[in-house]
Amino acid sequence: MNVSATLFEPHDFVYGGHRLYYETVGEGPPFVLLHGILLDAHINRELATRIAAEGYRVILLDLLGHGRSDKTTDPKDHRADFYADQVIGLLDHLQLERAVVGGVSLGCIVSLHVAAKAPQRVTALFLEMPVMEWSAPWAALMLSPLLVAARFLRFGYAPLARLVKRLPRPRGLKREWLAGLMNTASLDPGVVAAILHGVLVGPIVPSELQRRALHMPALVLGHTGDKLHEFRDAHVLSEQLSGARLLEARHILELRTRPERLWPEIADFLHEVRVSAVAAPAPARPVATAAPQDDLRLRFEQTVEKVRSAPADGPFKPSNELKLRMYALFRQATDGDVQGKRPGMLDLVARFKYDAWATLKGTSRDEAMKRYIEEVDKLERTLV
């Protein structure tokens, strides 16, 4: 198959009330490939054709706020773990039991969140330029000025974005990554600020304990000389994932501009994964009765949706104390023990939330779900 001449097939689906765009190329076992922060599918198009040539159906997803997917200016929509839910939603939409999942930078850490949330849905991981403990301080330092400019200097940022949006994009697969960078520069500053804010405030990467629990095959790519993607993170990640191997690039764009040196090892990895995926059928999902834990999770999700959809002017009016308690139970149920540093005195709301969450340290996720459901049930009984 002459993959370079194959057209990317455009598609979309609705997740959480938002339209998300994706495109596909090739035939074979599914491979979901994700872009970096503020980028879009263009950054991975040429790479996708190479992967497709190895016998995969590559699915390029534009995460919420990126590319041709819907845009929002609410930072709460743009956490890395919420992006992972969109990937799992894509698998459900396509009725895929499992897929190889991977991406670059933000796409890499979103892939890790997908694997941590639903390991049975991930055949293998392709992890390019991870951003973890060593990179996180540099990410905050380097992205914060862009966040400030997008949030508070719109008068200068917005005209420049509109100008770049009108410029013609370079043609040809070899220059798709450049078109992707131009698309990034043309994003509305409100969307840019929301994405940066949400990603930096939310959990950047699954915990070390969660990472060490992943046992699917993984290829980790890193390089030296880039503080935003510290090579130490790639090295540490390759050691934490039991089925991982490490491949060192010469610079951040080598895989996009001159992939010939790296490709033989990548192709070997893809071949091994494809052969094992074909040989081992996907595990059947339970269709009869749900396990107690599944039933608890379903009840928890239904209760969370009930709280979220309650009208602002309705009778459902929890006190501030109850809001903090329910926030803490929600975070404990979904993320486990408290993460990150305690916010300072200049952000009292975040500090109160952090402290409320910290009081639940050591509480199991199941127990937090049960207590969250009980709190809502108790409140509902008072409204009858």
Give the CATH number of the domain where residue 320 resides. 1.20.80.10
Residue 69, pLDDT > 50, answer: yes
Residue with tokens 């131009």: 182
Confirm if 85 and 77 have CB atoms less than 8 A apart.
no
Tokens of 377: 């049930």
In the block, residue with structure tokens 């796409």 = 107
- The answer to the question of residue 287 being in a domain is no
As a whole number of angstroms, the distance between CA 351 and CA 239 comes to: 34
Q: Which two tokens stand for residue 43?
A: 């950054």
- 298 lies in a domain? yes
CA distance 180 to 150: 19
Q: Is the Cβ–Cβ distance between 101 and 61 less than 8 Å?
A: no
Please determine, for residue 106, whether its predicted confidence score (pLDDT) is greater than 60. yes
Q: What per-residue confidence (pLDDT) applies to 323?
A: 84
Of 315 and 333, more confident? 333
- What integer pLDDT is reported at residue 310 of this predicted model? 67
Residues 331 and 256 in one domain: no
* Maximum separation of any 2 CA atoms in the chain, in Å: 68
Domain that holds residue 187: 3-279
89 and 124 together in one domain: yes
The pLDDT of residue 65 is 94
pLDDT more than 90, % of the chain: 50
**Within-domain flag for 247:** yes
**CA-based end-to-end distance of the chain:** 65
pLDDT value at residue 281:
55
- On whether both 272 and 297 belong to a single domain, the answer is no
Final residue of a domain: which of 223, 248, 279?
A: 279
> Do 203 and 337 sit in the same domain of this protein?
no
Q: pLDDT at position 187, please? A: 83
CATH number at residue 253: 3.40.50.1820
Range picked from 95-99, 169-173, 273-277 for highest mean pLDDT: 95-99
Band of pLDDT at residue 34, cut at 50, 70 and 90 = very high
The verdict on residue 286 lying in a domain is no
Residues 76-104 have pLDDT tens digits of 999 999 999 999 999 999 999 999 999 99
pLDDT at 321 over 90: no
CA distance 220 to 9: 28
Last residue of a domain, one of 233, 257, 279: 279
| Structural domains in the chain (count) | 2
Same-domain pairing of 270 and 314: no
Please identify, among 279, 314, 338, the residue that sits at the C-terminal boundary of a domain: 279
Hey, which bits of 174-290 come out as E strands?
218-223, 244-249
Query: How far is Cα 147 from Cα 187, in angstroms, rounded to an integer?
Result: 13
Per the DSSP assignment, residues forming a β-bridge with 86 are none
What does the pLDDT read at residue 360? 93
DSSP count for the chain of H helices, then E strands: 15, 8
Between 291 and 21, name the one with better pLDDT.
21
